[in-house]
């Protein structure tokens, strides 16, 4: 019986002992590195790779212009400015041309229909074709800027410029005396000042807004720089 117990129990004892020795050692060997790796993976990957990726992601997001492009705002403002200018000129030609001026505020402000072959406010009447080309160039430049436009104030400013330029360009192309030489319809006549129209007003307001935005360091892409 003792011999049988020895034969049966002898293999189990070393195995059990070996298992007892190997499991702590094996678990320590396998579990130690695994545990270290497990400790490093949550702390290392999210803490190193993940954090770096998150930081890079945040940095990239911060560098990118925020929000959607403002192309829709630009063209909406341009369409409104152009429509108001075109409608006012049609009304002036139909109701006011070849008639006495209409006084709005005494002699200080009146409506008077005048055909202007020059630039805004009646300047440069001898350079009608040049002003027509300049207006067309302004439209092309604004269309190119629209691709990187993320700033709402810039969208409004460029929309005013675009609408005003289109309004006067329409007169240059379709009014007498001919294509590229057409006279612009002006009708707003303040006292001691040149006669102008709504397109001229839109161009001037858009230009003033662009100057203010430039002084503030705001770029069309929405970024702010400091000189």
Distance separating alpha carbons of residues 58 and 50, to the nearest angstrom? 12
Q: List the one residue out of 83, 93, 92, 114 whose CA is nearest residue 183.
A: 114
Tokens 């662009």 map to which residue? 210
- How far apart CA 78 and CA 221 sit, in angstroms, is 19
Catalytic pick among 186, 219, 221, 227: 186
Residue 186 is among the residues annotated as catalytic for this protein? yes
Question: Exposure pattern of 218-227 as b/e (b: 16+ CB <10 Å)?
Answer: bbbebeeeee
Active site residue 200: yes
Among 200, 219, 221, 227, which one carries the catalytic annotation? 200
CB contact at 8 A, 113 and 188: no
Element (H, E) at 12: helix 2-26
Give the three-state DSSP class for 65. coil
190 φ, ψ (degrees, to nearest 5)? -75, 155
C-beta separation of 74 from 157 below 8 A: no
* Burial of 214 per CB tally in 10 Å (0-12, 13-18, 19+): exposed
Query: Residue 102 — φ and ψ, nearest 5°?
Result: -105, 120
- 87, 86, 78: which is closest to 206 by C-alpha? 78
Active site residues: 186, 200
């Amino acid at each position: 019986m003792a011999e049988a117990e020895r034969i049966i129990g002898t293999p189990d004892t070393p195995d059990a002992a070996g298992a007892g020795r190997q499991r702590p050692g094996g678990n320590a060997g396998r579990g130690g590195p695994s545990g270290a790796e497990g400790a490093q993976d949550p702390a290392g990957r999210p803490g190193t790779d993940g954090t770096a990726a998150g930081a890079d992601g945040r940095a990239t997001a911060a560098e990118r212009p925020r929000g959607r492009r403002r192309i829709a705002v630009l063209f909406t403002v341009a369409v409104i400015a152009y429509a108001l200018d075109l409608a006012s000129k049609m009304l002036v030609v139909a109701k006011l041309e070849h008639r006495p001026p209409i006084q709005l505020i005494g002699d200080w402000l009146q409506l008077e229909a005048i055909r202007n072959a020059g630039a805004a406010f009646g300047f440069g009447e001898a350079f009608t074709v040049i002003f027509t080309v300049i207006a067309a160039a302004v439209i092309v430049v604004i269309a190119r800027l629209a691709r990187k436009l993320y700033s709402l104030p810039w969208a409004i400013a460029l929309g005013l410029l675009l609408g005003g330029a289109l309004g006067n360009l329409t007169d240059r192309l379709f009014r007498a005396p001919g294509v590229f030489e057409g006279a612009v319809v002006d009708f707003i006549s303040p006292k001691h000042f040149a006669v102008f129209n709504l397109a001229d007003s839109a161009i001037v307001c858009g230009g003033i807004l662009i100057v203010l935005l430039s002084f503030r360091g705001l770029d069309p892409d929405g970024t702010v720089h400091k000189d």
